Chain A
Amino acid sequence: NAGVTQTPKFQVLKTGQSMTLQCAQDMNHEYMSWYRQDPGMGLRLIHYSVGAGITDQGEVPNGYNVSRSTTEDFPLRLLSAAPSQTSVYFCASSEGGPRRIEQFFGPGTRLTVL
Chain B
Amino acid sequence: AQSVTQLGSHVSVSEGALVLLRCNYSSSVPPYLFWYVQYPNQGLQLLLKYTSAATLVKGINGFEAEFKKSETSFHLTKPSAHMSDAAEYFCAVSENGGGSNYKLTFGKGTLLTVNP
Contacts and interface: CB of A to CB of B under 8 A. Distances in A.
Contacts, number: 55
Given A40-B9, A42-B90, A105 B106 contact: no
- Bin the interface of chain A by size: 20 to 34
Contact of A90 (B9, B44, B46, B102): B44
B22 interface: no
Nearest to B42: A107
Given A40-B108, A94-B102, A103-B46, 9 more contacts: A35-B106, A40-B9, A40-B109, A43-B44, A43-B106, A92-B104, A100-B101, A102-B49, A103-B104
23 contacts: A31-B102, A40-B108, A40-B109, A41-B108, A42-B107, A42-B109, A43-B90, A43-B106, A44-B106, A45-B104, A50-B99, A50-B102, A58-B103, A92-B104, A101-B51, A101-B94, A102-B49, A103-B46, A105-B43, A105-B44, A105-B45, A107-B42, A108-B43
